[in-house]
Amino acid sequence: MSFESTSLWLREKALQRLAGNHALLKRVVEMFIDQIDEKHLTLTTAVSNRNLEDVRFTSHAIKGVSGDVGAEALRQKASSIEILSASGDWNEIEVNVSALASVIDATKSEMAAAHA
Q: What is the sign, positive or negative, of the torsion defined by CA atoms of 63, 29, 43, 3? A: positive
**Amino acid (1-letter code) at residue 111:** M
Evaluate whether 34 touches 104 at the Cβ level (below 8 Å): no
Question: What is d(CA 20, CA 98) in angstroms, rounded to the nearest whole number?
Answer: 34
Instruction: Label residue 6 by pLDDT band (50, 70, 90).
Output: very low
CATH topology of domain 11-114: Four Helix Bundle (Hemerythrin (Met), subunit A) (1.20.120)
Instruction: Label residue 2 by pLDDT band (50, 70, 90).
Output: low
Domain ranges for the chain, please list them.
11-114
> What are the tens digits of pLDDT across the range 20-59?
999 999 999 999 999 999 999 999 999 999 999 999 999 9
Longest dimension (CA), the chain: 42
Element (H or E) spanning 114, and its range?
helix 90-114
Give the list of residues 6+ apart from residue 114 with CB closer than 8 angstroms, or none. 9, 11, 29
Question: What is d(CA 52, CA 13) in angstroms, rounded to the nearest whole number?
Answer: 32
pTM of the model: 0.90
> What are the tens digits of pLDDT across the range 70-97?
999 999 999 999 999 999 999 999 999 9
